[in-house]
Structure 1
Amino acid sequence: MRLRGVRRSSNIEDRRGRGGGGIAIGGLGGVGVLLVLAIGYFTGIDVTPILEGSTQSSTQREITPQEEAAAEFSSQVLATTEEVWSEIFPREVGAPYEPPVLVLFSGTTSSPCGGASGATGPFYCPLDRKAYLDTQFFATLSQRLGAEGDFAAAYVIAHEVAHHVQDELGILDQVNSVRQRAGEAQANAITVRLELQADCLAGVWAHHVDGLLEPGDMAEALNAARMIGDDHLQRSAGRVPQPHTFTHGTSEQRESWFARGYESGSIGGCDTFNASSL
């Protein structure tokens, strides 16, 4: 992705180098545990490390050159999402776009949606309308998940920003309301549609930054979508895929909806909730 000359976003909250910030189950209390579980269930965040972890001490450490480069990259990608959605919203929604803040952290941090660590992966918290990213996640994405390339990393950021777009559109509240009345399997199925819509909206962003793309960038994003499909992740963990437990969609579905968003370039092309098939 060609980012030379692209501005850096000012909507960055930099917590890198602070360390610590982990939340222990003993410090949450019964209500706190239920809140973390509920938020994790709704947003798709893996809260296991929070519930199984222990309180971690705050430490200061030096930021590596690799992390600094990842932070600059993230800031520039975030800036492109701001420009794209600020252009699309007045035209398609008839309202201005209010961009999210991207929280960059190292190791662990806290959020209103619970503790965050490298194990949770990037996520969007609707309670404070911020996206959270451990800058070391890009290495995990490439080395452990098999999703290499800078545009694979950009796709991940665009996906989390897409959840903010859904929040701006009122979709997250609607989904949460439906989920509260649904059984587990049905709630998971609704969450899959939510996540696939975010993939599609990330594709819409990709459509509008096409001039910044380099040869192979789309292949990197599509590969990333495949590598983080529920079926692929469950097989990689040595498990037989269980569709009723899926919360993000299969590799094929994630790849397909990202491609649909890229082809349409429009929010209207991402209505996963009324799609007869995914």
Structure 2
Amino acid sequence: MKETKKGIIAGFLAYILWGIIPMYWKLLPTVGALDILAYRVIWSFVFMLIYILVTKKTSDFLNECKQLWQDKKKLGTIILAAIFISVNWFTFIYTVNQGRVTEASLGYYMNPLVNVLLATLVLKEPLGSLGKIACGFAFIGVILLTIQTGTIPVSSLVMAFSFSIYGLIKKGLSLSSYTGLTIETLVILPAALIYLVGFSPAGFMTYQGSTNLLLMGAGVVTAIPLLLFAESAKRISYIILGFIQYVNPTMMLLLAIFVFNEPYTSEQFFAFSFIWVGIGLFTYATLHTWRKEIQFENHKLILDETKDKEK
């Protein structure tokens, strides 16, 4: 129970930090989205190196790196993961700094449903009738938003699919969270440095002191939620984590409406409602499956105990 409590707290902290992170990027209005991404990669890598040294995980990290280097397929997979998470980060930063936090929240509301869709298409996992209806409601919501705005919510779709594909790739990697994040940022690091030094209109670290500090802090605000999430995932079931994950887009949506004063019409609310219904159906179906699994395990345990007594 103590470990479960720690996991729930860590999960809430991770998703709360992800929920308020738009406020951080809003503090950098003079820095382009691509520049922020490059600094985010660089300082995340530096922070992870410091974290590994301070927590005395150097030996384990080097061993995992050696195993990764020897397994070229695994190495190629983590390079692919690094590309997809970079696409996700850039799209999120760009969308937030364009004043479209509502659209960013939509992407993360859609994320669990996209996870289900990809699991069905790629992993060939069966999708129940409620799951199909849930995806159908989400699809209707996206269509309604497209009709209202006259444009497809590309940023939301890119964020949802890039993060889901990233998660799908990571599912097959047996790496510690700190090694995974360090290697992923290392993969993108050369491109980030080349861009900042050779192509960025602003150059490398040419901003005022406070802006430079905020850019350095981008590594911290990136790594800490990911590490908290990893610790949470170890201690609690994916079902519980699935409930907690809606803290993130809900906080973003509230920030968009009440802090950033983004327009939120009744038509948008109506379209979002379809997505929320889809999420509700998906959550109910997941919870129902989880309960059945627990009942089956309990029944199996009772049968085993009965057999032991008979012996």
Same fold at TM > 0.5 = no
Q: Which has the higher contact order (CA 8 A, sep 6+)?
A: 2
Question: Between Structure 1 and Structure 2, which shows a larger proportion of helix residues?
Answer: 2
Question: Between Structure 1 and Structure 2, which shows a larger proportion of strand residues?
Answer: 1
TM-score, normalised by the number of residues in structure 2? 0.28
Q: Rg: which structure is higher? A: 2
